[in-house]
A = this chain, B = another copy of it.
């Protein structure tokens, strides 16, 4: 049998209500407070959070649902979100959907049952569409992936502009055959693709977009198809994220291509190892901490101002130039 608040009350010779008040930090006679605290320590009392949540009707819990925990970008964001949340006395329920819309729906339902205070969500493509229509009991803040017309608060980076920056960088280095690899299943992928497309147009060179699926086998097939024919091979690539970039590297390695001599690579996300591949890759670093911090803040804000208009925070990425980017290729 576990020790409950009543046991503490008995030991301290006060009422359960008083124990509750002491623990909640409400005003109580110092003398009694001491007695209660002594009793708490003596009995080793630990409040039962389920009971507390049931009665008080607030769970102090937020949900964090990301689409792919293997993507270090999401790991990094999650880390910040959790650190900040725990710091504010919020518990975090963490979920990973693996880009599976059904799993995502299941988790959102779980959030309902948990009666969470709010949810931070990096949705799948389908999920992003669905969110627009569904009314949930808790506020949702979308991160990383959010259509501009989303009906939720969101914090994203300026994907189109950042993709354009990568194109501009490669163009400046002399590349003329620049292909773009973007995810088929995400809003983010589409936005980056658009930015890439427009930038290529502005440069006056034809773009070549390769849609890449999340599933690795498929991704590598698509990339191989792009790179294997030396005569039609692009001289440089804009890659949508670090996971995809690894597939590119694997294929390039298999084909015996040397980076950046045979193929210059640029990508979104900045991982430590990127410094050491192909003489250093130029990338767009996303402000992961700021994304996490902003998301939590927006969520808290939304709780205070439930009927405020939806807000969309667009953060800039940071362009990091490294290495030579390749010798360039005269188209």
Closest to A54 in B: B50
Assembled-state Cα–Cα distance A250/B280 (Å): 11
**Shortest CB distance A23–B (Å):** 11
Is the CB of A114 closer than 8 A to any CB of chain B?
yes
Q: Assess whether A113 is in contact with B47, with CB atoms less than 8 Å apart.
A: yes
Residues of chain B contacted by A49 (CB below 8 angstroms): 113-115
Residues of chain B contacted by A54 (CB below 8 angstroms): 48, 50-51, 54
Q: Which of A10-18, A90-98, A119-127, A172-180 lies at the interface?
A: A90-98
Q: Which of A152-160, A203-211, A270-278, A298-306 lies at the interface?
A: A270-278
Q: 1/0 per position for A72-87, CB-CB distance to B under 8 A?
A: 1001101100110010
Is the CB of A41 closer than 8 A to any CB of chain B?
no
Is the CB of A53 closer than 8 A to any CB of chain B?
yes
**Shortest CB distance A33–B (Å):** 21
Secondary structure class of chain A's binding surface, majority of residues: helix
Residues of chain B contacted by A273 (CB below 8 angstroms): 246, 249, 271, 273-274, 277
Q: 1/0 per position for A142-162, CB-CB distance to B under 8 A?
A: 000000000000000000000
**Shortest CB distance A213–B (Å):** 17
For the complex of A and B, list the 5 residue pairs with the smallest distance between their C-beta atoms, beginning with the closest.
Answer: A273-B273, A50-B53, A94-B94, A246-B272, A50-B54
**13 contacting pairs across A/B (C-beta < 8 A):** A46-B113, A48-B54, A50-B51, A69-B78, A75-B75, A79-B96, A82-B96, A86-B95, A91-B110, A93-B93, A246-B273, A273-B277, A276-B278
A residues with CB within 8 A of B: 2, 46-51, 53-54, 59, 69-70, 72, 75-76, 78-79, 82-83, 86, 91-96, 98, 109-110, 112-115, 137, 246, 249-250, 253, 259, 271-278
